[in-house]
Structures are given as structure tokens and as C-alpha cells.
Amino acid sequence: MRPITARSRVIERLHPDMSALNRRAALINHALFWAVASALVTILLMILAFVDAFFGLPHERGVAPMLI
């Protein structure tokens, strides 16, 4: 048998909550992923709008494919 230590007591106490904590960590991970993805898409839209304006192109045609 393993000796009972303070660490094993903490693990035993937290074990019932581990599935909930893992689920929360996964949700936070997904939220961060989509936050970064939306920021990147926003930046791309802004860059594309400025490039279209610089070259005098109608920006609707350049931005529309990114919104589909």
C-alpha cells in the first residue's frame, strides 16, 4: 500500500471535481481559440479593405468571400 500523504489527501478530495475541472479547462481552451480566430479574421478584413481602397477597387468584392 502507498503511504497516505498530504498530496494524496488533496487528490482524493479533488477527484470528484476533476471531470468538471477538465470540462472547464476545455471550454476555456475553445473560447481562447475562437477569440484568436475571430481577431485574425477581423484583421484580415481590415487589411483587405485598405488594400482595396488603395487600389481603387470596390471593396465589396474583396470582402464578400471572407464573409461566406
Tallying the residues shown for the chain, one arrives at 68
In angstroms, the CA 21 to CA 32 distance is 16
| Separation of alpha carbons 42 and 48, rounded Å | 10
- Taking a C-beta distance cutoff of 8 angstroms, is the pair 58, 52 a contact? yes
Angstrom distance (rounded) from CA 51 to CA 30: 32
3-state secondary structure of 58: coil
User: 4 pLDDT exceeds 60?
Assistant: no
- pLDDT tens-digit map of 14-42: 677 777 888 899 999 999 999 999 999 99
Percent of the chain with pLDDT over 90: 26
Three-state DSSP class for residue 57:
coil
Of 45 and 13, the structure prediction assigns the larger pLDDT to 45
